[in-house]
Structure 1
Amino acid sequence: MQIGDKLMLRPTVFGGGADMIDSQPRTCRVVYIHPLRRFFVVEFCSAETGLTWRETRYFNDRAGGRGEEQL
């Protein structure tokens, strides 16, 4: 994995009512990788509003990591 790579991940945002985001995998871009590969940050872009948000994920080889899955 490198900065700029595109992944398909499920966003982990929460909401309710009209602002609920579905849990389907979405395309995201890797924007940061910790120098010791402890975690990475991905950026999602909303198709409806064009706004972006970022989420931090752990690599699968770390305890509880559920971020790097390729769907």
Structure 2
Amino acid sequence: GLAVRVAREEDAAAVEQIAKQYIAGQLALTDAVKQFAKAGCQAWTANLKRHIVDFSGDEGKIMAAVTF
């Protein structure tokens, strides 16, 4: 773990932008994790069959879904 605190305020637009940059290879995982935390993203799950990653915030609420 990176011991990064997750912000209480969620910014879905920022999460989507960070996700697109990470998936495109423009961000290293460490940098992406720190930025996701600042935007309130608490978890993400990948569905390899559907080629989609769901990014969620508090209580599992989906903030962004990005295809890869």
What is the TM-score of this pair, normalised by structure 1? 0.30
Q: Give the structure with the larger strand fraction.
A: 1
Q: Which has the higher contact order (CA 8 A, sep 6+)?
A: 2
Please tell me whether Structure 1 or Structure 2 has the larger radius of gyration of its CA atoms: 1
What is the TM-score of this pair, normalised by structure 2? 0.30
